[in-house]
Amino acid sequence: MNKELRRVSYVVLAMFVALFLSTTYITAFQADALNADARNSRALLASYSAQRGPILVGGQAVAQSTPVDDQYEFQRTYSQPDLYAPVTGYYTLGQGARGIEDAMNRYLTGNANSQFFDQVNSLLTGQDPEGATVNLTLDPAVQQAAYDALGSNSGSVVAMDPKTGKILAMVSKPSYDPNPLASHDRQTVTDAYDSLIADPSAPLQNRAIQGDLYAPGSTFKLITTAAALESGDYTPDSEFPNPATLTLPGTSTDINNAEGGSCGGGETATIATALRLSCNIPMAQLGQALGAKALQEQAKKFGFGDKSIGVPQAVTPSQFPIEDSKGQAINDATLMLQSFGQGSDRVTPLQMAMVSAAIANGGTEMNPTLIESVLNPDLSPVEDFSPSEYGKPISSQTAATMTDMMVQDVANGAASNARIDGVDVAGKTGTAENGPGDPYTLWFTGFAPAADPEVAVAVVVENGGGQGQSAFGNSVASPIAKKVLEAVLNK
């Protein structure tokens, strides 16, 4: 064989080897993912010939497939769409899937590895294949209360059981109707999808866990306080200078307390007073004293920056950056702003609910989840979805101390509109600034009853609740949270 033919044979052999390895890799490692991917048109058409499993809330189907007389055999329908669409998402021809429909697709289609024997049984018996039933943790009454309380505002409400991590309510507004997206007419699907994508209010974003993150405002003071107490160098009675105005180091920028003036009067202010009255200046000084790394480490322990958190949908990680866009360490002025929830720190409502839930649960943080159970058509469980621990971001002593401080915040402080007669509510408000003249972002996060918590909640309201810069977290977000807490406590 001459040199030229030998070279050609080597090239051809290399191509066959590459093709063999690529095919083997896809078959061995990517087959399940590709088969379950809702964008796989071949798998999609095949899946429509099987009855896709329902998604249940409180035992009632909020998404289900019913037989129809066309080539697809089953039509996906969604009940109470505006209430549940941000959670359930959609399953479409041509535009993929979103929400639970996407995250639990392999179970709903019956293609999960744990459903292998059911697949074999369907082949052997000739029975039509069926997907599994996905039961969500959402409580219909709590979900409805959160939806109604949020009203016409854009924003989100998350409520969860702090002892289990089960999400009782997850509301995002504005919402949308996924039924047109489930049409068997591709043009109808495309038109509906394009309209939603073009909507500047971004209804497809589940604001509780995804999309543009929010400045946390004074709710971040919970993390600053936790870092201080965990350090062992501070107590609730630790004092800081108490001026009415403070110029940030190296700048000509002044910061003030939310109510103006000093923090409760006097030459000094304690950490407890600063949290109760939501004072910015003492918290800025505390953050500076703690340092950027200590604050970031505490935030990470609560879940900030963690890309692995899923409910099961992926959750956009919350952020507490300690470097600027050029990779340089943030200066003291920026750190002081971030210490009370301004600057570059950004959060999801779920993250702030997790912070409150960890405090409520004695310092132990549970993994948040929307999945109660997944059942085969014969009602046998497909997999175990038992509650699991995320971590222990703070000690039980710190949790107890912070609970007492948060109770005072509601009973005699800046979160007074969350009070419930006969119940000790622990809470923290936030009023985040977004730029000169821009409406505030309004917050509440907390839990109840303080002694034996049943529910932790986070509320965020965009655009100042329609009141620009005239509204505050306590005037808008606290009453919403109160109604959600009552919906759980009054069951």
- The model's pLDDT over 121-151, given as tens digits with 9 standing for 90+, comes to 554 444 566 899 999 999 999 999 999 999 9
**Beta strand segments in 2-132, E:** 55-57, 60-67, 74-78, 90-91, 97-98
pTM: 0.89
Residue of 132, 212, 119, 106 whose CA lies nearest to 378: 132
Report yes or no: 474 and 429 within 8 Å, Cβ to Cβ.
Answer: yes
Q: Does the pLDDT value for residue 180 go beyond 60?
A: yes
Largest interatomic CA distance in the chain: 97
Structural domain spans, the chain:
217-372+389-489
Question: 291 or 7: whose pLDDT is higher?
Answer: 291
Mean pLDDT of 90-105: 95
Q: How far is CA 331 from CA 243, 292, 335, 395, 455, in A?
A: 22, 9, 6, 30, 38
CA angle 409, 410, 416 (to 5 degrees): 115
Give the tens place of pLDDT for each residue, 45-70: 655 667 899 999 999 999 999 999 88
SS3 202: coil
Cα 110 to Cα 384: distance, rounded to the nearest angstrom? 16
Is 218 considered catalytic here?
Answer: yes
- Range 397-423 average pLDDT: 98
Closest CA to 353 of 336, 377, 335, 370: 370
Banded model confidence at residue 116, pLDDT cuts 50, 70, 90: very low
**Active site residue: 47, 65, 156, 218, which one?**
218
13 alpha carbon, distance to own chain's centre: 51
Give the CATH number of domain 217-372+389-489. Answer: 3.40.710.10
The pLDDT of residue 112 is above 60: no
Query: Smallest Cα–Cα separation from 162: which of 416, 449, 461?
Result: 449
Q: At what angle do helices 221-231 and 280-290 cross, to 10 degrees?
A: 50
- Give pLDDT tens digits for 206-228: 999 998 899 999 999 999 999 99
pLDDT of residue 120: 46
Instruction: Write down the mean pLDDT value for the chain.
Output: 91
Burial track 208-234 (b if 16+ CB lie within 10 A, e otherwise) = bbbeebbbbbbbbbbbbbbbbbbeeeb
The C-alpha atoms of residue 222 and residue 235 are separated, in whole angstroms, by 14
pLDDT computed for residue 161 by the predictor = 99
Backbone angles phi, psi at 27, to 5 degrees: -65, -40
**pLDDT of amino acid 117:** 47
Pick the range with the lowest mean pLDDT from 12-21, 121-130, 252-261, 362-371. 121-130
